Amino acid sequence: MIRLIGYFFGVGIVLALLVAAGIALYIGDLTKDLPDYEVLAKYEPPVTTRVHASDGALMAEFARERRLYLPIQAVPDRVKAAFLSAEDKNFYKHPGIDVTGLARAVVTNVRNLGSGRRPVGASTITQQVAKNFLLTSDQTMQRKIKEMVLSFRIEQAYSKDRILELYLNEIFFGLGAYGIAGAALTYFDKSVNELTLEEAAYLAALPKGPSNYHPFRHTERAIERRNWVIDQMVENGYATAEEGEKAKNTGLNVSPRRRGTYLFAGEYFTEEVRRDIISRYGEDALYEGGLSVRTTLDPQMQLYARKALHNGLLRYDTLRGYRGPVTQIDVSGDWGAALGEVDGLSDVPEWNVAVVLGTEDSKISIGLKPEREVSGALSEERTTGTIALEDMKWAMRHVVDGKRLKAERQSDVLKPGDVIFVEKKADTDRAWTLRQVPEVEGALVAMDPHTGRVLAMVGGFSYAESEFNRATQAYRQPGSAFKPVVYAAALDNGYTPASVVLDAPISVQVGNDVWEPKNYGGKFAGPSTLRAGIERSRNLMTVRLAKDMGMPLVADYAEHFGIYDKMLPVLAMSLGSGETTVMRMVSAYAVMANGGKQIVPSLIDRIQDRYGKTVYKHDRRECVGCVASEWTNQEEPEIINDREQVLDPMTAYQITSMMEGVVKRGTATSIAELGRPIAGKTGTTNDEKDAWFVGYTPDLVVGVFMGFDTPRPMGRGSTGGGLAAPIFKEFMGNALKDMRPVDFQVPEGMNIIPIDRKTGMRAESGQPGVIMEAFKPGTGPADSYWVIGMEDLEGMGGPRVVSPQANRAVNSGAGGLY
């Protein structure tokens, strides 16, 4: 008997060994091509790129997976506890597989055979890391075995904290969020350190099935799962019973973080930065690289720019009447639902969408678009208000079938069911003002002339209405705003501000045609100094000056200034008939403002990679000695500026001084009310299709443009001085209100000489009509009166010496000036 028992025992041992060998061979064959777990050491997940303003304020985030990588040391203990309680309470004890949990899952699955229920898993956090990083999500026994083997290997190669760090940064939480840091921001708009017990528990509940515990679609199920996690935390000693009960009695309070831009009024700027990064590094770097981008944007200056441009566009638009409602809806029933489907302007929060409910002789009754709840559903509350006649007076001139008519009553303009834009009046509860999105568009750019840093940029009235950036993408004719380049080229090549050019009719043969340019207003002034020519924006003088110099020279300067890549050297281009952008014009004026140094405009100060290494820096100037640890009587460090000198510093001052005259005596005198040194130039194109003003102080250059997207006349009198200059003035008034006025610096060696402002001849200071003019060393007022272009006057031969009295005689019959 004993022998028989021994026999069966031996057979059993052999069979067991054979089974074990078979299992070992099967597992060995199954795992011989397992992924290399050592790749976890080089884990670089897709990380969100974040864009910041110059003061550090968050502007935007770009990501395919909204993830911010967080080292395990930065994760609060309570947040770790929530995930351990929800997923793997024995994580710090098991070797990669929780045998007890696995046995429990096997028993449960055996009981559920035939029930149709989904098998219960028993994956540890380590196993989930193995699956998420190295395997597929197939529900097969083969994958499970591979997962277990990899878990043992991972546990041997990495610390528990490292494995938990990988897990917390990789898992998907729903709503596009990956990783615990991204989830905290996405669901609660908080950092991980700010999460409460119930918030951490809810996030820990999500990895099991984010869609199953959606905060709005499956709220009750989400709360139930969250409360289970809280109970587990209490049971495991991570929270007291009192804390647990208090947390369970709290709602989910999910407040999703909005996408897109976060800095108000920064949409056009942000989009331009996005395109810049893609052009430099590609889309993968932007959406997965985890870059930290510090831009040049000054948030306060950006607000001033937006407000000034808005006011200017609305000022023009309201003078041309009301064009009708956005759309119409039925108001016989619940108007709120229909109104809720009408899109407003997300980046113009001052305006609300409303519907006209009724019209009376003295007021219009309106209903306001209902607010949306956090879940996205429309509020049931209905808010109403009124529009008084005085708050829509501008609309009493309304456009009907393309004709502007004057309405007798408010009801002639607005009718029940009209969907409109309204703005709430200050210090009132129910009074509103009628608004409409302007047809005319514009742009404003503000730049530091010494570095090229773009401090503010607005590319249109509303980014939500149109993403087209008129500051960088719209190519428009600058008109007379181009003239300073012509005059700067002249001053750099032998002419002086006191040089005299004939302002009189001129004919230019262009092929088989004759071009006859005219001054704005059609009048002329006879022989005049270059200063007078630019102050009064005289087209005929500019054409003669360009003709005398030669257009190839003007084209060369325009290209060096960056206005055009390749300029056609024809005379019409001297009057700004070529097309360029506001950004390019501002960059060109920056050259004149900074003493002639070429600048490269930039919206980005610095870019760092995910590890904090600087991969791009705009300011490449060197400063030897700036990093000294202490002062030992050494010389003050000097920043070496090696940018190309494209204009003589003395020429830059001369043209600046002449453009100061534009503000003091010329076509932009309204700006002189700011009471500080400002140089600038207006620009108006043929038929008033484009209106410009570009100007600067010693430390700030600003360009403004107005015009219809599809160029068409804006109306007689719609000049740069009348439309663009007031926008510039409002912006500068706000941007510089806390800064003391600074004079433009006169270069050393420059001679300041009194001259007669009409003849350009030397004069006695203090006399009427005398102006102080800047001359380069070796130059000065002409000893004899010389007029460029005198050959164009009938019977006067070529350029010649004439008397100042003859000049005055020509001037006396010239008529008015623009």
Q: Is residue 798 a contact partner of residue 790, using CB atoms and an 8 Å limit?
A: yes
The pair phi, psi for residue 581, each rounded to 5°, is -110, 165
Angle in degrees, CA 29, 33, 36, rounded to 5: 140
Are 757 and 531 spatial neighbours (Cβ–Cβ below 8 Å)? yes
Close Cβ partners of 598 (under 8 Å, ≥ 6 residues apart):
560, 562, 591, 643, 644, 645, 646
Amino acid at 315: R
| CB-count exposure of residue 498 (10 Å: 0-12, 13-18, 19+) | buried
Which ranges of 530-617 would DSSP assign to H, the alpha helix?
530-535, 539-549, 551-560, 582-593
Max alpha carbon distance in the chain (Å)?
148
Instruction: Give the angle subtended at the CA of 546 by the CAs of 545 and 548, to the nearest 5°.
Output: 65
| Vertex 142 angle, CA 148 and 170, to 5° | 55
Quickly list DSSP for 658-682. HHHHHHHTSTTGGGGGG-S--EEEE
The residue assigned the tokens 């994958």 is 143
Tokens of 339: 């109104």
Residues 568, 510: contact at Cβ < 8 Å?
no
**Catalytic residue (one of 123, 151, 480, 602):** 480
806 by Cβ neighbours in 10 Å (0-12 / 13-18 / 19+) ranks as middle
Edge-to-edge strand list for the sheet holding 604-608: 58-62, 49-52, 292-295, 604-608, 614-617
Can you tell me the distance from the alpha carbon of 146 to that of 131, in angstroms, rounded to the nearest whole number? 9
**Residues 6 or more apart from 574 whose CB is under 8 A from it?**
482, 483, 486, 542, 543, 545, 546, 551, 554
Question: What residue type is 589 in one-letter code?
Answer: Y
- Answer whether 67's CB lies under 8 Å from 169's CB: yes
Residue 805 — φ and ψ, nearest 5°?
A: -65, -40
CA separation for the pair 434, 424 (Å, rounded) = 9
DSSP element (H, E) containing 114: none
Q: Which two tokens stand for residue 759?
A: 């003849």
**Is there a catalytic annotation at residue 147?**
no
**Rounded CA gap, 465 and 463, in Å?**
5
| Integer CA distances (angstroms), 656 to 177, 319, 450, 663, in order | 53, 35, 15, 11
DSSP, residue by residue, 468-527: --TTTT--B--GGGGHHHHHHHHHTTT--TT-EEEES---EEETTEEE----TTS---EE
For the chain, report the end-to-end CA distance as a whole number of angstroms: 129
Indicate if 465 belongs to the active site.
no
Phi, psi for residue 192 in degrees, rounded to 5: -60, -35
Angle between helices 483-491 and 551-560 (to 10 degrees): 110
Catalytic residue among 61, 87, 288, 730: 87
Please list the active-site residues: 87, 480
